[in-house]
Structure 1
Amino acid sequence: MIYRVSAKFNFDKTLEYLQKLIDGSIEKQRPDGPEIIRAMYSATIDENGIVNWTEKCFCPTPLKHERETVYDFYFTELNTIPTPKHEITAGVSFICKLHSLSAN
């Protein structure tokens, strides 16, 4: 199942999260690491600070493992809605936003 996901990011953890996205520690996570990476690199952040992405998940509870291992450490107010396909929501690239914040 593919889900449209929205959540608020904890910007106090920008450097930590970006490092985990880059260093391969999330990508090595099985079975969902590569999908988390794909999702974060296609995620956008809107003018209200909400991060939006789509993600494929095979759990009976949407993003259960992803939340337990990654998302609940960095995001709050995570919402999922089933969607028929991957899509990109209007907004600024989330990964670019993380990079720009980490440079400061």
Structure 2
Amino acid sequence: MIYQVKAKFNFDKAREFYQKLTDGTIEKQRPDGPEIVSSMKRATIDERGKINWTEMCFCATPLQHERATVYDTYFTEIKTEPISDHKAIEGMSFMEKLSAF
């Protein structure tokens, strides 16, 4: 299933998260590491500072494994909504923002 995700990011951990996203640490995580990295590359930050992305997940509870292993360390207020397909979400590139830290 594909979800649209909205969350608040802890920018105090921006440097650590960006490093793990770009050095292969998260991508090596199985089974969902590659999808987490792809999702963060699609992610945008809106005018209120919320991070928005789409993600494919097959957990019975949306993003259950992803949250337990990665997302709950860096994000709060995570909300998911099922959607039919990935879509572009307006806003500034989240990865670009992270790279500035």
TM-score clears 0.5: yes
Corresponding residue for residue 85 of structure 1: 85
Kindly provide the amino acid, as one letter, of the partner of residue 61 in structure 1. Answer: T
Q: Which segments of structure 1 move beyond 6 Å, counting only runs of 4 or more? A: none
Could you tell me the percent identity over the aligned residues? 63
Question: What TM-score do the two structures reach when normalised by structure 2?
Answer: 0.99
Cα distance in 1, alignment partners of residues 93 and 44 from structure 2: 5
Cα distance in 2, alignment partners of residues 88 and 62 from structure 1: 20
Deviation at 1:86, TM superposition (A): 0.3
SS at match of 2:76: strand
Which consecutive residues of structure 2, in runs of 5 or more, have no partner in the other structure? none
Deviation at 1:11, TM superposition (A): 0.2
Question: What TM-score do the two structures reach when normalised by structure 1?
Answer: 0.96
TM-align CA RMSD = 0.5
Which consecutive residues of structure 1, in runs of 5 or more, have no partner in the other structure? none
CA deviations on 1:3-62 (whole Å, 9 max, x unpaired) are: 000000000001100010011010000000000000000100001000000000001100
Summarize the alignment of residues 6-85 of structure 1 with structure 2, pairs less than 5 Å apart: 6-85=6-85
